Amino acid sequence: MQSAVKPAKLIIRNGRYVCPNCKQTTNQKASPDTNADRLILWCRNCKAEFVVNIDHGQCSIVSRCR
């Protein structure tokens, strides 16, 4: 079941996206020219999944998967 998350920007630390749940860095790298719609961002630390939109390196959360 998907639960709605307020639209928010993800933080980028050392070139990688930071999990909004546990605040640890994920394996996915950030680039200023990255574009993606409804990409699943997964955190290896807390096992949370988020659906995100990335536009020119700026990442916003669409929903949380689990």
Instruction: Tell me which DSSP letter residue 45 carries.
Output: T
Tell me what the mean pLDDT of segment 4-26 comes to. 80
Nearest to 27 by CA among 37, 9, 40, 8: 40
- Provide the domain count of the chain: 1
| pLDDT (0 to 100) of residue 66 | 62
CA atoms within 13 A on the CB side of 35: 2
Residue 5: pLDDT band with limits 50, 70, 90 = very low
| pLDDT (0 to 100) of residue 7 | 60
**Global confidence as pTM:** 0.70
Q: pLDDT at residue 13 above 50?
A: yes
Q: Name the residue range of residue 53's domain.
A: 3-64
**φ, ψ for residue 30, nearest 5 deg:** -105, 140
The three-class DSSP label of residue 61 is: strand
Tell me what the mean pLDDT of segment 22-44 comes to. 86
| pLDDT (0 to 100) of residue 24 | 92
The three-class DSSP label of residue 36 is: strand
